[in-house]
Structure 1
């Protein structure tokens, strides 16, 4: 796939005018307020992960509407001292899988919480363990179109709330330095990490690559791949639903969350990515922190010949180096 989005010089300056509802902040304040009245963690149970160098616990915490959300908590074995911590969000259609699948952050010395995606886990990976009991509103079968006609019913209202609550859950676990917690994710996970950066004012860092839900309306005009293609397919059948869908999507637009974020941020993007077009990532990056009255530390790495995989292991190495500096005592 050749480059199909804006040329690199234009991407670096891409700052589309904000298109967000007037009650964006009130919507999220009310949503998080409804789910944040109780202690987040329900249970923490040690599991045999088959490994000697890291320990893992099966965590259940309260997410949207108090629903139980599952997660793996993993950290270097035999050292209970408080550590900087990472909460990681998985990609679209993936669940938390098995406890030995995601070891990079724990191997780097972090306390690591991998959140399950409610109502997902059936498209790739090793499955998930968190149902979505609120998935009955009108919309298509895929997560990105569940409840698409009303922002209060939308799947991502629930998933973003879970992601915020995961930070609170991680901070309440033993062996975590509460002041040094980062949100990390790729693709859908990157979109969730960016939303968390905009909704959790004291987050220590955000590590975002190929973020979904950024520049959503432009992405719908550019690509039929991946989750955006599911939205287009739904609207091709429900021909009168576009206005309602646009309104719902405006409440989960990643650029709006980025504008409110204050944590240092590290971005990665493949310039041939048709799943999450690069103009969305650049729009979020270029407007990052603009409503905070500050200029947060941030950097972006582009991979001109890569698609949705972006910089892959090369980029992970950059993430590790950057986060070690940002979260240093």
Structure 2
């Protein structure tokens, strides 16, 4: 669904709150972006510099499967803190590599490449990392694996909050991909980033500082406008942060450094955002705040979904339309 024909949506549900939050599309497009701390840019540039200094030492493992014109391998690489992470490497079965993608995942991690393959463009390679704490291939001692616990890990300080390291895991994955597929590095082709929900929020935090990414696509992104999110009832990781904030209000100062909407204002690459009008897990006002923060001059594009994190009639058709929009978008901006 495009912005032009989107309308407020509601579906039968059992939640004790309204997953549309009483917002129309017009109202969602007016959700503001919170002011970032004065040292926001310096903080993130320092984190990015640290990630670039990591030697990822990637290892492409055994072939897992071959389908949709690609070969899928296991992969290992090193991220900040000398953490070894796993994931999957996708390579075209025949022919040269012309495009590269880093693909983030939702909260809970991933057990395989799933619907992320087929890739948005043919003749593409991709790395699908499991960030620290997420899924079997992202297990790290001391980091919780359950989303409601993971999202609170280290939250008392901006230096220790796990979300910052998860963003770094994406940057190190990009370095690993460029080492594993040297033709991408040699051609100078910019990478594309895709992320949904948790991966969408991480992507918004990662994109502004890394010029290796020439474009991004964020679906139902989380972490947008934390001050507003803390006032909105929901399920999932956001509810965990909201409960924790009620007992530890000082974390709001930490969260200011991890606001995806604030980070979006710094993005200079074209980004296609697919926020939802109805979503019980990631409140739509926060999703739209990420889109609203993107500079129009950078080439932001909007693809509105009826719902997110929810089963509804027409979901399969909506998924197909979004897949087509991704292909058209990346085919145009990465050409």
TM over 0.5: yes
Partner of 1:92: 107
Partner of 2:31: 14
* Deviation of the 1:170 alpha carbon: 1.6
- Which of 141, 144, 169 matches 2:151? 144
The TM-score, its normalising length taken from structure 1, stands at 0.85
Partner of 2:85: 69
Contact 1:5 1:271 in 2 (8 A): no
- Which of 158, 162, 166 matches 2:173? 166
Tell me, yes or no, if structure 1 residue 289 matches structure 2 residue 295.
yes
- Which of 87, 101, 113 matches 2:127? 113
- Which of 283, 287, 296 matches 1:277? 283
Higher helix proportion (structure 1 or 2): 2
**Which deviates the most, 275-284 or 205-214?**
275-284
Partner of 2:54: 38
Partner of 1:125: none
Task: Please give the secondary structure, in 2, of the residue aligned with 1:104.
Answer: coil
Instruction: Structure 1: state its 5+ residue gaps.
Output: 122-127
Structure number with higher relative contact order (C-alpha < 8 Å, ≥ 6 residues apart):
2
Task: Please give the secondary structure, in 1, of the residue aligned with 2:42.
Answer: helix
Instruction: Structure 2: state its 5+ residue gaps.
Output: 1-10, 12-17
- Which of 304, 324, 331 matches 1:324? 331
Looking at structure 1, the residues matched to 289 and 65 of structure 2 have their Cα atoms a distance apart, in angstroms, of 40
Looking at structure 1, the residues matched to 120 and 219 of structure 2 have their Cα atoms a distance apart, in angstroms, of 19
Partner of 2:97: 82
* Deviation of the 1:50 alpha carbon: 5.4
Looking at structure 1, the residues matched to 210 and 63 of structure 2 have their Cα atoms a distance apart, in angstroms, of 30
Give the superposed CA RMSD: 2.4
Looking at structure 2, the residues matched to 261 and 94 of structure 1 have their Cα atoms a distance apart, in angstroms, of 25
Change (3 A) 1:219 1:274: farther
Partner of 2:258: 252
Change (3 A) 1:13 1:89: same
The TM-score, its normalising length taken from structure 2, stands at 0.83
* Deviation of the 1:229 alpha carbon: 0.6
Offset from partner CA, 1:191-250 (integer Å, 9 cap, x none) = 1221221121341101011001111221221123111111123345xx2x111x111211
Change (3 A) 1:279 1:99: closer
